[in-house]
Structure 1
Amino acid sequence: MKIKKLSHHIIIVALAITIIGCNFFEKQIIPLKSVTDHFTTPIDAQLLLDSTRIGRSTIISNLDVPWEIVWGPDNWIWFTEQGGKVSKVNPRTGKKKLLLEIQEVFRKRTTGLLGMVVHPKFEHFPYVFLNYTLKKEHSIISRLERYTYTNGVLVQPKVLLEIPGNTGHNGSRLTIAPDGKLMWATGDIGPNTDNAQNLKSLNGKILRLNIDGSIPKDNPFLGSPIWSWGQRNVQGLVYGNGNNLYTSEHGDATDDEINLMRRRGNYGWPNVTGFCDSLEEEVFCKDSTVVLPLKAWTPTIAPAGLDYYKTDIIPEWKNTLLLTTLKENDLRVLKLNKEGNAILSESILFNRELGRIRDICVSPIGDVYLSTSNCDWNPSDGFPVDQDDRIVRIFKLNDSEYEWDDKMLQVETNLIQDTAKSNTSKGEMHYRQYCSSCHKSNGEGVAGIFPSLTNSEKVKGSKEELINLALYGITVNMKKKLGSLYDQSMPGFHFLSDEEVAETLTYIRQQFGGDAESINAQEINDVRVKIDSDD
């Protein structure tokens, strides 16, 4: 009898603990009553859409390259910083709280603490999934790990999967599918681009896992986490309407992409970039049933974070993909058709105002949050500025609460290249579009990564050798032959016309090579013919 009573009391206590736990969790959630309720940060910009006025404000600054920002279960923004910290910030007050610091994070170039996703059913699965790089002896490893949220911190790390990593092209984005599976976008860890087409490699893929790290039985390949392949370097991953899964992916010299992911889909890299628009690509696309992108950009824009906008708060953005860019330093609004399988239009906001924008998230009430990436390894010209890096809020301005400020007012624009000015030469325009993100507008490059062009013997020396480099780039094998002078691969720009290559190289030689002799289109053509005949 005593045993029965004791069991009964245990059950009551357990239920009480459960109820208290749920209530405690609910008390942490701050209800959002209106678009502007309780927000205290000042507005630093206003923008007019078709009929909606939106504002921009900074909610927190002086961050260490916030890589991933997500809307948390407590209505705070949870975010990773590349150096190894996971924190959350109250978007109304800017108050920050540290949740976790991972000591073994390896950080160089684009390695570090990267992707994160919070389980959408947090009250039942209080899990946070993280992707970061570490070193094991002389190898870089990309680790997928699960943490449990308890008493305001992240504890109980569980390693779900480890794959090879590199100092670049690690991918890293994470999301939870509508069916509860964990989706992980991995990079091809170039320059070994063959990983993307190799089904024995987990790099250059979208992987699908159970939340305990096991492999779902209904995956495309028995015993494999591979969901799709042929990815180069996914930087955005989000589900939209109708369970459509979208990615934003870095191209090489051409064709950054937005893709609609399909189960068992091959997305072509490295055999196909963008659409199948060359003879070689057409053959591969036909043989391998390549899934074509919804959109591709040449010149490249370095697409980064991606989110889906579904609310009516900003009606112009309903049913759009919101995309941030690193190279172009802007926010892009990509209008989808009803089915979500085509992009109908594109417009740009905040062009060159915030610098590199790494990630984006949308709150349940339709506010948009952006994180800048100006203190990373490859800042844009003029950045970082004071108090970078930041997380900023973009929100609808109610006319009854906010007056017009013409000094702040901007207008959303269609695609306008700021390089297309009458006083900009064609060579300078091509240089900005294809070269300056690595070699910088002043030609100084990035120390230890991208070589300086200023007074370089390669720039002012042999025309034929410079043309060869411009047309065909620097491959892994060429790097070994050239030695330590080049520690970063360079794509080839053979897709440009002879005239465009000549204009670009002439600008480079005269701007950075001590006014070296110009190069003409015939000289470009002569090198192409010679290389083709040697082959």
Structure 2
Amino acid sequence: MPRRSAALFAALALVLGPAVTVGCSSAAAPEPGGAPSTPASAPTSPASPTSAAEPAPTAAIPGPTPTPTPSPTPGAAVSVDVSGTVTDGLASPWGLAVLPDGDLLVSERDDARILRVSAKDGTKTVAGTVPGVTAGGEGGLLGLALSPGFASDHRVYAYYSTASDNRIARLDYDPARPAGSQLGEPVALLTGIPHGGRHNGGRIAFGPDGLLYAGTGDASEPPLAQDRDSLGGKVLRLSPDGAPAPGNPFPGSPVWSLGHRNVQGLAWDPQGRFWASEFGQDTWDELNLITPGGNYGWPTVEGAAGRPGLVDPVAQWHPADASPSGIAHAAGGVWLAALHGERLWRVPLDGDRLAAPPMDFLSGAYGRLRAVVADRDGTLLLLTDNTDGRGDPRPGDDRILRLTVNRT
């Protein structure tokens, strides 16, 4: 199919839902299974996924921090340049947070470490190891978030798995202490999030309202997503102390929205609209606009269904092309880091609607992409995660890349 025709066909699929598909369907599992500068391309038919065991390109040589470029208009064409590798040699990295001085904190899922990465030269320092983490399957030390008052309170929030649940905890961080002992003991704020070998969610972020949001999974028990009394398959909204936030749609509950299969991406646009990415099962991965009390359909439906009482996604993909983990809002759209799809997607937005068909970048160049974060200078930070799902990372392969978004 020609690229232009593919783009138009993809746009129809996103508007009309499952009745029109972007290429053939795929039954690939979403979680198994991202040179440098590539032009955007229209979504194409799913192809055989690149093996996570294939070697990745040699890391780019770190370069100077680029000058930020103005944000393009929502539907404008853009290109992406890889301006350098911030650091490499990571092992099963998952969460990524930008410190006030520009340095980064990175969580490593399987060894439960939090690393500090120098923005100047990529040097890695072990801040500490989070006790009580049980790694296995898709569980372990997952998302990180900084307190809105981090400059004064030095608090880091972490989402992680134990032997019996997933939980959210707060840790004090003192970089003046010796390496390896800079983290205080975790203070559990919310426990009892369902835990399984797969579908543990794990992304946490503070919203513009200063409250803490968390994306959870159904722990491979789909009915939990529709159970308001369960924390599984939800987006949660919490006070910084872990209590249900005031104004939540279900009094006394931390549940903000329900009917999710596995949420691993959270982001807000400049107008305060709340976006989340979700792993589908066999047919549709989703980008959703999250509203309080919204029911996003799982396991009753997957993808757009047009059913009263259920919220349809704004955009959707076959799992072989996406399996979206972390997301960020920048340059007039939402960017999604794709694991199984091994590419970076940009969804151009005009308010709460698509401005143009989603376009992909870096397809297959760096393997699985776990997280994308907008840095303060307008660049994007991209985290790769080439652990193959069985706990066998490719040593030295995982890295943080710095990307520049350009008008074309």
* Superposition TM-score tier, normalisation by shorter sequence: 0.7 to 0.9
Shift of the 40–387 alpha-carbon distance from structure 1 to 2, 3 Å rule, reads closer
Q: Which residue of 1 aligns with 2:343?
A: 330
1:62 equivalent to 2:82? Answer no
**One-letter amino acid matched to 1:327:** H
Whole-angstrom distance in 1 between the partners of 2:139 and 2:382: 20
The structure in which a higher percent of residues are helix is: 1
Greater strand proportion:
2
After TM superposition, the structure 1 = structure 2 runs for residues 243-392 of structure 1, keeping only pairs within 5 Å, are 243-276=272-305, 285-286=307-308, 289-298=309-318, 300=320, 301-309=322-330, 318-337=331-350, 339-377=351-389, 387-392=396-401
Query: Which deviates further from its counterpart, 385-394 or 222-231?
Result: 385-394
Describe the superposition over 1:379-417 as per-residue Cα deviations: whole angstroms up to 9, x where unpaired: 9xxx966621111111369xxxxxxxxxxxxx99xxxxx
Correspondence for 2:215 among 157, 181, 185: 185
Shift of 1:42: 5.3
- Aligned equivalents of 1:343, 1:201: Cα separation in 2: 36
Q: Once the 2 structures are TM-superposed, how far is the Cα of residue 121 of structure 1 from its aligned partner? A: 2.9
Rounded to whole Å, the distance in 1 between the matches of 2:203 and 2:78 is: 34
CA distance in 2, matches of 1:51, 1:222: 44
* Structure 1 residue 141 corresponds to structure 2 residue 141: no
Instruction: Quote how far apart the aligned CAs of 1:233 are.
Output: 0.3
Aligned equivalent of 1:159: 188
Superposed displacement of residue 124, structure 1? 4.0
Change (3 A) 1:51 1:218: closer
Tell whether the 8 Å contact from 1:40 to 1:92 is kept in structure 2 after alignment: no
Question: Normalized against structure 1, the TM-score is what?
Answer: 0.58
Shift of 1:125: 3.8
Match of 2:198 among 151, 164, 168: 168
| Cα distance between partner residues in 2 of 1:223 and 1:208 | 11
Q: Is 2:242 the partner of 1:213?
A: yes
- 8 A contact 1:80–1:113 mirrored in 2: yes
RMSD across aligned positions (CA): 2.4
Counterpart-to-counterpart distance in 2, 1:166 and 1:384: 21
Distance 1:54 1:133, change over 3 A: same
Shift of the alpha carbon at 1:299? 5.0
* Letter in structure 1 aligned against 2:352: G
Residue matched to 2:6:
none
Post-superposition CA distance 1:64-111 (Å, at most 9, x none): 111011211221111101120111111220111222202321111111
Greater relative contact order (CA < 8 Å, ≥ 6 in sequence): 2
Stretches of structure 2 that go unaligned for 5 or more consecutive residues are 1-59, 65-75, 177-181
| Alignment match of 1:114 (pick from 137, 142, 146) | 142
User: What SS class does the counterpart of residue 242 from structure 2 fall into?
Assistant: coil
Give the AA of the match of 1:292: D
Contact 1:375–1:388 under 8 Å retained in 2: no
Residue of structure 1 in register with 2:259 after alignment: 230
1:286-310 CA-partner distances (Å, limit 9, x unpaired):
2xx111100111354211110011x
Deviation at 1:342, TM superposition (A): 3.2
SS at match of 2:363: coil
Amino acid at match of 2:339: L
TM-score, normalised relative to structure 2: 0.76
Decide whether aligned partners of structure 1 residues 55 and 389 sit closer, same or farther in structure 2, where only a CA change above 3 A counts: closer
- Alpha-carbon deviation of 1:156? 4.2
One-letter code of the match for 2:398?
Answer: D
Give the C-alpha shift of residue 239 in structure 1.
1.1
**Which position in structure 1 is the counterpart of 2:403?**
394
Report how far residue 241 of structure 1 moved. 2.0
In structure 1, how many angstroms separate the alpha carbons of the residues matched to 2:253 and 2:246?
A: 9
Distance 1:189 1:50, change over 3 A: closer
How far, CA to CA, are the matches of 2:244 and 2:343 in structure 1? 38
Asked if structure 1 preserves the Cα contact closer than 8 Å seen for 2:234 and 2:258, the reply is yes
1:421-436 equivalence runs, <5 A? none
- Equivalent positions of 1:4-23 (< 5 A) are none
Q: Which has the larger radius of gyration?
A: 1
Deviation at 1:128, TM superposition (A): 1.0
Segments of 4+ moved more than 6 angstroms: none
Separation in structure 1 between the aligned mates of residue 340 and residue 80 of structure 2, nearest angstrom: 27
Per-residue displacement from partner, 1:313-339 (whole Å, max 9, x unpaired)? xxxxx21111110111011111111x2
Tell me how far 1:51 sits from its aligned partner: 7.5
Q: Residues 53 and 341 from structure 1, CA distance in 2 versus in 1: closer, same or farther, beyond 3 angstroms?
A: closer
Q: What per-residue deviation string (whole Å, max 9, x for no partner) do you get for residues 112-132 of structure 1?
A: 100111123322442211011
Out of 62, 71, 75, the position equivalent to 2:102 is 75
SS of match in other structure, 2:224: helix
